[in-house]
Structures are given as structure tokens and as C-alpha cells.
Chains A and B, each alone.
Chain A
């Protein structure tokens, strides 16, 4: 039986149960844990296996991983390349599948706001999120004619989703400028995804910031 809720494929590498629980309230959730399929070929095979299960998918959400929040001074090139390769392979599969559907569909990358603003002590996460943001923009232009939108949701400090910011002095100052508090909740992220799924068809290639006003 097909659920009346829109089907959402969630691709992640450790999104918290709380976040998944929130999404399950608004979407029929199909989950794929990237940690189980570390090689792109394995991942592609698994996605193929899930083909039938995904026939009604309307929105694919890829949660871009974060590196450790401990301060790091150098780019971890191996981690960065491995993560990006997985994300790219998933985007490719998802977009190919979405392009063939006859209804408007959405591809959303959930990632850290650090990709846009940089973080002095989180090089790998910042660079990965910067790369995926660049990818979102190009993909959006390439698949728009197939009624597939591609957007990014940039999270500020969202510890309940596993997107905890390393709050050094620099970032702490940014939060002090606004009065919204520093934490983004799973409910707020869920609301953003509902918006993108229901009302965002004219919106593609965009970065929707859920960052408590950190970047204005």
C-alpha cells in the first residue's frame, strides 16, 4: 500500500534518531545509511536494489557528513574525497531516477553553514560543505528542465541532528549578534524540508539557511 505521505529517501551517515523521528512525522521515510556502503560501487548496487521501493519517491535528502568537531588545522584529504565521492554517486543516482519521474521532485543536501562562511577550526567540514554547495548550483542548472530542483539546507548549530558547531570565539561572536538562540532543532529542519517539498518548485540552486541568523 502506498502511504499518503510523500516518500522521502534519506541518505545519511549518522543522522540522529531524533531527526529521523521528526522526518517520519511528515514523510514516508526510506533510509539509506552510507556507512554500510563505503564504496561508490556498493552504494550504486544498493540503490539499484532499492529501485522498486523508491518508485514513488518525491524528495531525496542527502545529509552531508561532518568531520569531528575537535579543532583541526589541516584538510583531511582522504576523508574529504571519500565523503564527496559517496555524495556525488548518490546525487547522480538520485537525480537520474528523479529525472525519469513524471512529477516534480526535489533533491536536497543537508549540510553545515560552514561551507559558506568557513570555520578556522573545522577545515574538512567547511571544505566538504563548500564543495557540495558548488555541486548543488551546477546540478540545479543541469536538471531543472526535468522538473527536478536541487537545493541545500545549511545548518548552523544543530546538535540534535549531529551538526554541532565547534563554537570558538569567532563563531560565538556571530551568535551573540542575534537573539534567536544558537540551536537549530529537528522540527525546524523538518519544516524546511516540508516547505521545499510542498512549495518550493520555483526554487532551485538555493541555500536555505537555518542558522539562527548567524549569516545575515
Chain B
């Protein structure tokens, strides 16, 4: 059965997907598009974003529901400017789906001063900056929905990824803080914590640790981007829902607590 656009669950919703030039972000963006949303693709690298548009959205390029808007979110000022450009080009997004992230495998004893700043610059600060820019708009209209792609590494840790775990732990704490503060504004803030996703950060993992992860996952297969679509859509479509400040684990049974 083919659903007409107006029957799709996210019809009429504008979704900004940050980190959409990455593997996970691009696939989440496509899933949101297929659910009827108007999607704004954000990435730092314009060329990579164009590549994503060509490869994943080539069949729908003329639909009018897709905007590519690369930009820098590394400072409060640049995030404000980015959002201003976005609003000029379309309107205030109804939903923010944050997929920015970068991990590097390194034993913690080899980390040098400055490495932690680089990890936070990749995983935490751009998300904080764009959230801070968006929230006043959502407060003004008493509606908003923020979904953050976190990681099980922030919840249960992972050898060789101590700084990534710290950054994701920080992001989760930030989301809980926003959830508590903005519940009164009718703004939902939730996280999805996937196991490492094949095609994404899993491909950069130390093979021994990856094998250990695979061997200890009760659902005996790798986590793929498609596994995250259902929880993402569940959170994206609950703008009036009762769920906020949550972390939804998608770990194949690896974490049952």
C-alpha cells in the first residue's frame, strides 16, 4: 500500500537533522523524509552533504520537502547565524534530530591534553549551541521536540573510547537538564542510545572490541541504521506526548537495565 503524503505521520513537520552528512544522520534523515517530514539536512561539509543528497535523496530531489543547509555550529554566534539562515530559507523547525558525533579508539593513557576539548567540540558543543539557538523559538510558541542520538557508550562505557563515553555522558545529562527545564514549555527532550551501528562508528572500532560486543549481544546480529527508525519515529511523532528526559536503549538486549 502506498500512503499519500498527507497520511504520513510527520506530514507538515519541519525536521532539522544535524550531522546529516554522516552515515547515521543521513539514514535517519531519509527515514524522517519517508515519514512525510520536510527535512533540513545539516552538515559541516557542503560537499559531503551534496553527496548524501545525491546518493540517498536522488529519487526525491524535486519534491520540495528537502533542503540542504551546511553550516558551522561550533560557537554560539555561528549557531545563531545558521538558524537565522534556516528560518529565512524555510521556517523554525518543529523537531531537531541531533546526529553529530565522532569517536576515536585510543587507550586512555595515550590521550594528550587537548584531546578532551576535541571530543567535546565534535560531540557536545555544536549540539548545545544549536539547541540554545532553537529553544527560545520553541518557548515562544510553546511547542518543540528535540531528539538526540546518544550512545550506549555514554551509559555503560567502552574500552578505548573514554573521551567519547564522557562526551556522550555529557550530552545525555544536558538533555535531561533541558527536559526538566522545558517540560513546562511543552518541549520534549529525549535520547536514543544505540549500540554501535554498522556502517557508522562501528566500522571505526577496534576489531577485538567489536567482536566482543557482537558475541555478547543477545540478539545475535549487528545493529543497523534501520533498527533506529522505529524509536526515532516514535519520539518524533509524540510532540504532545508524556515522555521526556528519557534515554531509549536500542542495544539488542545488551543492556537490560
Contact residues of A with B, CB < 8 Å?
40-41, 74-75, 77, 80-81, 84-85, 88-89, 91-92, 95-96, 114-123, 126-142, 170, 205
List, in ascending order, chain B residues with CB within 8 A of A170's CB: 180
Which residues does B use to contact A, with CB under 8 Å?
107-109, 111, 113, 116-117, 120, 124-125, 128, 132, 153-182, 245
- Please pick, from A81, A84, A91, A129, the residue contacting B173 in the complex, using a CB distance under 8 A: A129
B117, A85: Cβ atoms closer than 8 Å: yes
Most buried by A among B156, B163, B166, B181: B166
Assembled-state Cα–Cα distance A52/B199 (Å): 48
Q: Are B153 and A142 in contact (CB under 8 A)?
A: no
A120–B180 CB distance below 8 A: yes
Assess A117 versus B157: contact at CB under 8 Å? Given A84-B120, A132-B169: no
Q: CB within 8 A of A138: which of B109, B120, B158, B245?
A: B158
What separation, in Å, do the CA atoms of A119 and B178 have in the docked complex?
8
* Contact, CB under 8 Å: B177 / A134: no
Residue of chain B at shortest CB distance from A91: B108
Chain A residues positioned under 8 Å from B170 (CB to CB):
80, 127-128, 130-131, 134
How far apart are the CA atoms of A57 and B157 in the complex, in Å?
Answer: 26
The reply to whether B173 and A118 form a contact with Cβ atoms under 8 Å apart is yes
A85 to B178 Cα, complex, angstroms: 24
Chain A residues whose CB sits within 8 angstroms of the CB of B159 once the complex forms: 138, 141-142
Chain A residues, CB < 8 A from B173: 114-116, 118, 126-127, 129-131, 133
Could you say which residues of chain B place their CB within 8 Å of the CB of A121?
Answer: 181
Which of B111, B128, B153, B182 lies in contact with A134, CB distance below 8 A? B153
Q: Provide the residues of chain B in CB contact with A141, threshold 8 Å.
A: 157-159
When the two chains form their complex, are residues A92 and B111 in contact, meaning their CB atoms are under 8 A apart? yes
What residues of chain A lie closer than 8 Å to B180, measured between beta carbons?
117-120, 170
Q: Which residues of B contact A130 (CB under 8 A)?
A: 154, 169-174, 176
Give the one of A75, A115, A205 with max B CB within 10 A.
A75
Q: Report B125 CB to chain A, min CB distance, Å.
A: 6
Docked CA distance A49–B245 (Å) = 45
If A81-B116, A96-B109, A123-B177 touch, whether A134 touches B132 (CB-CB below 8 Å) is: no
Residues on A with C-beta less than 8 A from B124 are: 127
What would 21 A/B residue contacts be, using CB atoms closer than 8 Å?
Answer: A77-B120, A81-B120, A84-B120, A88-B116, A88-B166, A96-B109, A116-B173, A118-B177, A126-B174, A128-B170, A130-B154, A130-B173, A131-B170, A134-B153, A134-B170, A136-B157, A138-B162, A139-B108, A142-B108, A142-B160, A205-B156
CB distance from A20 to the nearest CB of B (A): 27
Q: Is the CB of B117 within 8 A of A81?
A: yes
Contact of B113 among A40, A119, A126, A142 (CB under 8 A): A40
What separation, in Å, do the CA atoms of A89 and B166 have in the docked complex? 13
Interchain residue pairs A-B with the least CB separation, the first 5:
A134-B169, A130-B173, A137-B157, A118-B176, A120-B181
Report Cα–Cα, A41/B114, bound state, in Å: 11
**Nearest residue, chain A, Cβ from B110:** A92
Nearest-CB residue, chain A, relative to B179: A118
Q: For the complex, give the distance between the alpha carbons of A21 and B212 in Å.
A: 45
Whether A137 lies near B165 (C-beta < 8 A) is: yes
- Determine whether the beta carbon of A131 is less than 8 Å from that of B169: yes
* Residue among B113, B132, B160, B163 with the highest chain A CB neighbour number at 10 A: B113
